[in-house]
Amino acid sequence: MMFAQLVAAQERQPTQAEKDRTVKVWDALMTEIAPYRESLASCSVEFDPNRFYAQNRVMPSTAEEFKKFLDDLSAIEKLIQTEKYKGLVGFFGPSDDIIHRPQYWEEVVKDRNAICQRMLTRELPRILMPHTLPLKSMIRSVEENDGWGLSEAGLSIVTGNRAVVRQKVFDKVKGLAAVVGLKLDENAAPEWEKLCDRLTEVSFKKAKTAKPAATYSMPAVAEALKKRWSSGPWASRKITKINTESNTWKITRNAIGTPLYRTVSVVVRFELAGFADAIEYSTQIKEDYVGSGKYAFVTSNFAPDYRLVAR
């Protein structure tokens, strides 16, 4: 049914016989569609440009939600094809209220895959917000805080490993697309790509003017960190400098003066093979007091904070 036919169908008033039949079976129909009302409510009789599309009422975001939407419409299709309801024409409610106009249900259930594909395409920026909002936050932080603000993912992006992050971002998208039968390439979210470009741009710009973040040195702290990071994720990072923001530990004590733990903020500069700029990592080192004047290292719960610095 084309756009003009749908408009004509909208404008046509049901005959008295159709009204009588609708009244007769309406309660039964409303009872039987009860499990699927949410899915029906998410559809509208608007046109985009010549077919039904999903209205922003109950918008799926996960593969499971899209699958339920499709499964519900499939169940409705089987229901309205029974002799009891076949060809039913409703006349209750406003023109865009599809629940009260069952003559439109058949068009919706037949077009359900295309509806979901348009829905996913339109809603992808919203679905990807958990990935785009952190990028926007990092861009703002890098611009306002002398280059600081890069997370592990942000560091991967600006050092040329965007594909690694992109794969994680689009694992979810590919799962959604598979459910609705939509083919998406890795550039299906241009906003995300543009934000990655912007983050890289501002990070390199700030690297040229980055001011020293720490000027003190505590050799014992530096040597302990180098030893601790001789393997694992830091093994590929060539540490060139470890500075501290003070030359003494900050000791936190309880009410009677007994030490609880001590902390010191450090900035670690390192290099990556094949990458021109240096990288700085800011964190806090914490050691718990274990008695007899001794302290023991505690794994930091600080979120990674990186910036680029021109060598």
pLDDT of residue 55: 60
Domain boundary among 206, 240, 275: 206
* 235 and 280 part of one domain: yes
pTM, rounded to two decimals: 0.76
Same domain, 186 and 154: yes
Same domain, 190 and 227: no
| 7 and 118, same domain (yes or no) | yes
Kindly state whether residues 278 and 299 are assigned to the same domain: yes
- Asked whether residue 22 falls in the same domain as residue 115, the answer is yes
Of 106, 123, 140, the residue at which a domain comes to its end is 123
Q: Is residue 47 domain-shared with residue 146, that is, in the same domain?
A: no
So what's the pLDDT on residue 9? 54
Asked if 133 and 40 sit in the same domain, the reply is no
pLDDT at position 275:
95
* Domain limit, last residue, from 173, 206, 239: 206
- Nearest CA to 272 among 300, 249, 239, 226? 239
The amino acid present at 59, given as its one-letter code, is M
- 140 belongs to a structural domain: yes
Q: Give the pLDDT of the chain (311 residues) as one tens digit per residue.
A: 444 555 555 556 778 888 888 888 988 999 999 999 988 888 775 545 555 555 656 678 889 999 999 999 999 999 999 999 988 887 666 666 778 878 788 888 888 898 888 888 888 888 889 999 999 999 999 999 999 999 999 999 999 999 989 888 888 788 888 999 988 776 677 889 999 999 999 999 999 999 998 999 999 999 999 998 888 889 999 999 999 999 999 999 999 999 999 999 999 999 999 999 999 999 999 999 999 999 999 987 778 899 999 98
For 258, the 3-state DSSP assignment is: coil
Q: Considering the domain boundaries, does residue 143 fall inside one? A: yes
Q: Check residue 109 and give left, alpha or beta (phi > 0: left; psi -120 to 50: alpha).
A: alpha
Q: Is residue 170 part of a domain?
A: yes
pLDDT, residue 1, reads 44
Domain carrying residue 253? 219-309
Domain identity same for 85 and 21: yes
Is residue 212 situated within a structural domain? Answer: no
Q: What is the pLDDT of residue 231?
A: 84
State the Cα–Cα distance between residues 194 and 157, nearest whole angstrom: 12
Question: Looking at the 3D structure of the chain, how many domains does it have?
Answer: 3
CB atoms within 10 A of CB 181: 11
Q: Which tokens hold the place of 209?
A: 């003017």
